[in-house]
Structure 1
């Protein structure tokens, strides 16, 4: 069973500034202690193939999962990660992918704001289909909120 969730929001900073945060390891450093307990680099430097171990705060549902950067497109400002260990894979999911996209705001001719789009794509084995209800975009909205607050303060 395949599914998707997505959310888009405007932030009052240029797309290049938002991408400098979302397109790098800086986003992980920013949310430690706020949304996540820890973010550890297992392998890589933030580019394609980087693997992170995300440790969640107690009561968050999963103790941890590891994700791999499967796409880092600096030109189009798109980053995709897939869970490669733990988390959703332990409860019957065969795919759990997160996509961050930063786009110029088409309604802003000044270039002083951008759109951030977050998408979750998942696939779960039929016998575990009930677990699809556990997928929520709320943790990503928490990350986006912390990131936007940081971007606005540093603008």
Structure 2
């Protein structure tokens, strides 16, 4: 498929050699009125995929556990809704889960941005305690494009992660408020 994309875009082998290896990082932060420990209960586990598929079916249609138990090495298959620009399927692998510092990293291992010439597409999710009742969801995307690739870094965005943080954060705020009022 990638070679067909190159042909369709009119990029020749000679032109590809002119492109250098490229790296980049984008970040977004969202504050939620929920303690970091409660946010991490969702973000640090397999629960995040279930919640996102339930609350944002227009973003993620389906999340399937391919292997693992939610720890490092876990692989998920994510299906995006039909009509999603770019690609509609990818697999990601959990490469880091740090419960003490509330950090989770995943890397695309099949499909997704790899189809467009990216050699690395990593998502880093950090839950930062701001005070006892407030925390920050920091979502970052790191990427690398291989030397000679015609991949376009402008297609990388944190928009899906922003929407996810907002919707999951609001859901957790509502749940936390109802527990507090019970």
TM-score, normalising length from structure 1?
A: 0.93
What is the aligned partner in structure 2 of residue 64 from structure 1? 89
Equivalent residue number for residue 155 of structure 2: 134
The structure 1 residue matched to 2:49, chosen from 28, 49, 71, is 28
Q: Does 1:121 align with 2:142?
A: yes
Q: Which runs of 4+ in 1 moved over 6 A?
A: none
What is the aligned partner in structure 2 of residue 2 from structure 1? 23
**Cα distance between partner residues in 2 of 1:127 and 1:56:** 29
Q: Does 1:101 align with 2:122?
A: no
Larger strand fraction of residues: 1
Structure 1 range deviating more: 128-137 or 71-80: 128-137
Any stretches of 5+ residues in structure 2 without a counterpart?
1-21, 177-182
Max radius of gyration: which structure?
2
Would you tell me which structure has more helix in proportion to its own residues? Answer: 2
CA distance in 2, matches of 1:128, 1:148: 37
Flag structure 1 segments of 5+ consecutive residues without an equivalent.
Answer: none
1:63/1:137 Cα in 2 relative to 1: closer, same or farther (>3 Å)?
same
* Corresponding residue SS for 1:154: helix
Paired residue secondary structure (2:61): strand
Number of equivalent positions: 151
Match of 2:62 in 1: 38
Say whether residues 1:49 and 2:73 are aligned partners. Answer: yes
